[in-house]
Copies of this chain bind each other. A is one copy, B any other.
Amino acid sequence: MSVRGAIVVTGTELLGGRVSDRNGPWLAARFFELGIDLAHVTIVGDRPDDMLAALEWCSSLGVSLVVTSGGLGPTADDLTASVVGGFAGRAMVLDVALEERIAEILRPMRSRWPHLTEEEIRASNRKQAVVPEGATVLAPVGTAPGLVVPPAEGLVGPTVVVLPGPPRELQALWHAAVETETFARAVAGRTTYEQRMLRLYGLPESQIAQTLRLADERGVDFGRIEVTTCLRRGEIEIVTRFEAGDAAIYEAFVAVVRERHGEELFSEDGSLVDDQVAGMLVEQGFSLAVAESCTGGLLAGRLTERPGSSAYLRGGIVAYSDAVKEELVGVGHDVLVEHGAVSAQTALALAERARERLSADVGVGVTGIAGPGGGSAEKPVGLVFVAASGRDGRRLVRRAQLPGNRAEVRDRTTTLAMHLLRRLLLGESDAAAEGDTAAA
């Protein structure tokens, strides 16, 4: 059985266009995992009339569950709890145990408000302990509690899960909400789904559309597995949701993808190329150095996103000017003059010299034209060269013409470099003589 839900995000600042909501997409992913069909995400300001109108609209669509985000702070314009109470037909009451709990949370923070007595602090936060009668209260992670509010007896309508706006608090309290009986009753009888993700790199999205048609012709029942594809950072993600009993249909679909895109399918378990590269570097005990030009530090930045990256990344050189390429990295002057800074030869020299200069096992070199200026007919904006070089003589060089604006070209270049590094770590190598010509 399909159960429908909706998400209502509150926050006047989200309607000004300068701040983007992060909670809606996060909650949407949780709905998807739980197999709750998401009817809509609505963002409204902190006005009680607008919040109530959004809740009533959800009710008119017959959804079983509404999750709200935000509006639970101690100030007067934080009104979500009382609006939801009214919507659910429940009186607002002071929860004395909750009040005490919030007071305990605030006690160690007293030094922030030196001019207030403890009673004054308690009074200013009492509002957060006033909750709809009969609601399930979720213990605060910050100072705001979460609430699971079913409709009052005799009323028909969705159960409302009320969560605070700060993402860390919202995420922790969501997991607590899902464990409550009130929540379980609201979504009772729904179908549960399995979810799988494939990732591919190096082919256009239109090829996937063809593959889906082919799989359909071969009898894969797309009425029983739900496939969505999207492009992200130059990679293709294929997410599939299905009921546990339909796992064989999913496997038949994956077999077709494997057959058609064996070279491009790099992840069958949803792992990122970043995870795979980090794992292989640790496993093989290799250290890494990078020298990058057009990405200007973003490749090193990406390689250091993960805690523990100091175990393998020795460091890098941002060789933005040719002088730095020559003097600090050690790219030969003749290479730069003969082939240009944006060339397969320079990329390879950056990789090799970075590896040597930083005494690493593997080096990666990146050069290209991120734009918007600096392009020519021969070397247009978006042209990039990446190279990877191993201490053992393995080497890979790739040329690519990337689409998008400056930021997109730079980001996709880091993805290209991660995949080249992955291939080197898997043992691939261009033939020594062939490398340059294949890439040039």
Contact = CB atoms under 8 A, between A and B. Distances in A.
Interface string A260-297: 00000000000000000000000000000010100111
A114 to B, nearest CB: 13
A324 interface: yes
B300 A296 contact: yes
A61 B359 CA distance: 66
B373 A307 contact: yes
Q: Which size bracket describes the interface of A in this complex?
A: 35 or more
Nearest to A303: B296
Question: Which of A19, A54, A315, A316 has the most chain B CB atoms closer than 10 A to its own CB?
Answer: A315
A13 interface: yes
A310 interface: yes
A57 B42 CA distance: 11
A5 to B, nearest CB: 10
A315 B308 contact: no
Contact of A16 (B228, B300, B303): B228
A54 B6 CA distance: 13
Nearest to A316: B318
Interface stretch (A32-40, A155-163, A246-254): A32-40
Contacts of A202: none
A28 interface: yes
A273 to B, nearest CB: 16
Nearest to A33: B17
A219 interface: no
A192 interface: no
A301 interface: yes
A17 B335 CA distance: 47
A123 interface: no
B307 A18 contact: no
A315 B318 contact: yes
Given A315-B320, A358-B328, A17 B13 contact: no
Contacts of A3: none
A371 interface: yes
A292 B297 CA distance: 10
A237 B27 CA distance: 27
A193 interface: no
A50 interface: yes
Interface in A1-36: 12-20, 22, 24-32
A94 interface: no
A206 to B, nearest CB: 8
Contacts of A27: 17
Given A13-B230, A39-B45, A304-B410, 4 more contacts: A16-B32, A18-B25, A19-B232, A41-B43
